Amino acid sequence: MARRDAARPRRSAGQLEGEILSALWAADGPMTAIEVQAAVGDDLAYNTVHTILTRLHCKGQVHRLGPAGRSTYKPAKGAAEVAAEQMRAVLDTGADRGEILMRFVSTLGAAEEAALRAALDAEGS
Amino acid sequence: MTVSVYLPLLVSVVLAVSVRPLAKALPPRLGLWVLTAAAVIAGVGTVWTSLLLGSLLVDDIPAFDAAERLVPVDDMMSLGAAAFLGTGAVRSCLAVRRLLHTRRRLRRLNAMPGGELLVVADPRPDAFAVPGSRAGGGRVVVTQGMLRALDAGQRRALIAHERTHLRARHSIALSLAELAAAMNPLLVPVRRAVGFLSERDADEGAVAVAGSRRLVAEALAAAARARSASAAASPLAPGFHQFGVVDRVSALLAPEPVTRLRHVWIVGAMTLLAVGAAFDATRDFAWIVQILLRH
Ligand SMILES: [Zn+2]
C-alpha cells in the first residue's frame, strides 16, 4: 500500500468544505483565512481556502467579521444547537444499536485500550 | 421431504460460525455486498423452507406412503419450523418498525440547513453518517467535542470516512442485513460482519483521501479514546461490538492487506447451495401437494 501513501489524490469540494468548517469549529475563536489555511494543515492554496470560506459564508454556515481583506471567520452556531436536540432524539431511539447508524468509533474497554496501544506502537517505532 | 429442506438452515449455521474469520479476510467493498446477499438469501431461504415444513403439519402421511424417495417430516420438526416462523415474523415486524422510525428521525437531521457536514453543538465526542434517500445524499454529523479531540489530519480522515459510507450506500447493506437477521436470528453475527466490513470500507476510503494508513489508524485511536474518556464521565451508551476499533486499526497497520478473493467464492458457494436446496425442497413440496390432491 506504499503506492497509495506516496500520491495524495486531490480532494473533492465537499471534502474540503468539511475540513475547513471543522477547523473553524475546532478553534477557540474567529480565524483569518491565513489561520484557517494553517489549521487545515495541508498544502491547500490560499485562494482555495478563501473561495471555500466565501462559499460557506454564502450558505450561512460561517459568519464573516471585520472589513474585507482582513476579515475573520467563525462558524454559525444556530443550526448546530438545533442539530444537537435532533441528534439526541435520534440516539434516544436506539438507532446506534442496530448498526443502521454508522458511528465512527465505539467506546473502548480497558483490554481494548491496551490492545490499541500495542497495535499502534508495534508499527510506529 | 429430502435433506434439501434443512440445508438453508444449515447454511445459516455455517455462515454464523465462520463469519468472523471470513469478515477479517474479505476485501471490504466486495465482501460487504457478498455477505449481505448471502444473509438475505439464507434468511429468505430459511423462512421459505420453514414454511414448507410447517405446512406439512396439516397432513403428510398418505403423501409419504406414495413417494418413497421422500422422508416423512416429524410433526415436532414441523412445529419447530412454525415456531421459528412465528418468532421471525414478530422480529421482522419490530425491525421494520424500528428502521422506519429511525429513518423518520434521521430525515429531520437531513433536513437541517447547511452543507454535507453538520456540526452539532455538543461537547461529547461523536460522529456518524446519516444516510440520505438518494445516491450522493446524506449528512456527515460530527459533534464539536469530536472535532476538538482531533488534529487537522485526523479530521480529514474522519470526514473522508463518513463520506465513503454515504457514497458507497452502506446503509442499504446494513438495513438488508438487519432484516435478514430479524427473519433468522442465526444471521445476527452476519449482520455484525456487514457492519464491520462497512467500517473497513470507509476506513479504506479515508486512506485514499488522507493518503496514509497510519494517519487513519491514529484518527480512529484518538476518536475512540476521546469517546471513552467522555463515556466514563457521562452516561453515554457503550457500543457493544463483536468487532471493534482494534480490529480496524490492525487491518490498517498490517504490512500486507490480508484480503483474499478466495473467501468471496466460499460465501458465494454457500449462498448458491442455499438457493439450490430451497428450489429442490420446493419441488419436493409441490410433488407432495400433487399426491395429496390425488387422494
Ligand atoms: Zn464508520
Q: Which uninterrupted H or E stretch holds B81?
A: helix B75-110
Taking contacts as CB-CB distances below 8 angstroms, the residues of chain B near A98 are 95, 98-99, 102, 178
Are B114 and A95 inside 8 Å of each other by CB?
A: no
The answer to whether A21 faces chain B, any CB pair under 8 Å, is: yes
- pLDDT more than 90, % of chain B: 46
CA atoms within 13 A on the CB side of A5: 10
**CA neighbor of A31 nearest in space, from A81, A68, A65, A69:** A65
Facing A112 at nearest CB: one of B98, B178, B245: B245
Helix B152-167 crosses helix B188-210 at what angle (to 10 degrees)? 130
Rama region for A63: left / alpha / beta (φ>0; ψ in -120 to 50; rest): beta
Interatomic CA distance for residues A4 and B129, integer angstroms: 25
pLDDT given for residue B236 in this prediction? 47
Interatomic CA distance for residues B277 and B211, integer angstroms: 46
Measured in Å, residue B201 CA sits from the centre of ligand 1 at 9
What ipTM was assigned to the predicted interfaces of this complex?
A: 0.86
Interface probe with B: pick from A37, A105, A117, most Cβ of B within 10 Å: A105
CATH code of A13-75, in short, is: 1.10.10.10
Q: Which residues contact B178 (CB under 8 A, 6 or more apart)?
A: A98, A99, A100, B95, B99, B191
pLDDT at B259 over 90: no
Question: How far is the CA of A27 from the CAs of B147, B152, B246, in angstroms?
Answer: 9, 11, 29
pLDDT given for residue B202 in this prediction? 95
**Residue of chain B minimizing CA distance to A37:** B152
DSSP A121: H
Is the separation of the CB atoms in B158 and B146 below 8 Å? Answer: yes
Output B249 or A100, whichever has higher pLDDT: B249
Average pLDDT of each block of 10 consecutive residues along chain A (125 residues)? 50 92 93 93 87 92 86 89 84 63 80 88 66
Lowest-pLDDT range of B130-139, B177-186, B230-239: B230-239
Interatomic CA distance for residues B127 and B143, integer angstroms: 6
pLDDT given for residue A97 in this prediction? 59
Measured in Å, residue B86 CA sits from the centre of ligand 1 at 34
The pTM of this model reads 0.88
Interatomic CA distance for residues A56 and A76, integer angstroms: 10
Taking contacts as CB-CB distances below 8 angstroms, the residues of chain B near A21 are 115, 117, 119
Taking contacts as CB-CB distances below 8 angstroms, the residues of chain A near B116 are 14, 17-18
pLDDT at B13 over 80: yes
pLDDT one-digit tens code per residue, B43-73: 999 998 888 888 877 655 555 555 556 666 7
Are A11 and B198 inside 8 Å of each other by CB?
A: no
Residue spans of the domains in chain B: they are: 4-294
